[in-house]
């Protein structure tokens, strides 16, 4: 990513931090050898938000504050993992990922 774009992403991410508070997981009933309905029920009963896609693929979303998230933001921001640095929440969060606004321009 070009430095200017990286800087802009950082600016947007610092005012968002959504993916530091919410986790999205993709899964499929074939991994558990059980019907999709059972998997959906299992996770819904535990408070997950569950979306069922085509071919029974399932998206789980749940609130989870990263251990490094503080009221002042990420406490290791300058040394945050590369996965955090490069992660784009667009596929997971759509327009709720502020970075998506810039990518659309």
- Can you tell me whether residue 98 is helix, strand or coil? coil
Nearest distance from residue 36's CB to ligand SF4, in Å? Answer: 27
Task: Return the number of the residue (61 or 88) whose C-beta is nearest ligand SF4.
Answer: 88
Task: Return the number of the residue (48 or 87) whose C-beta is nearest ligand SF4.
Answer: 87
Nearest distance from residue 78's CB to ligand SF4, in Å? Answer: 10
Q: H/E element holding 15?
A: none
23 burial type by CB count under 10 A (0-12 exposed, 13-18 middle, 19+ buried)? middle
Nearest distance from residue 55's CB to ligand SF4, in Å? Answer: 26
Question: Dihedral of the CA atoms 52, 57, 63, 67 (nearest 10)?
Answer: 180
Task: Return the number of the residue (55 or 82) whose C-beta is nearest ligand SF4.
Answer: 82
């Amino acid at each position: 990513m070009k430095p200017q774009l990286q800087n802009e992403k950082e600016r947007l991410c610092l005012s968002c931090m959504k993916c530091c508070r919410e986790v999205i997981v993709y899964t499929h009933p074939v991994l558990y050898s059980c019907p999709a309905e059972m998997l959906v029920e299992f996770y819904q009963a535990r408070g997950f938000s569950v979306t069922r896609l085509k071919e029974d693929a399932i998206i789980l979303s749940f609130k989870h504050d990263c251990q490094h998230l503080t009221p002042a933001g990420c406490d290791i921001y300058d040394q945050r993992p590369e996965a955090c640095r490069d992660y784009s929440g667009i596929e997971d969060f759509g327009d709720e990922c502020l970075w998506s606004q810039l990518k659309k321009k």
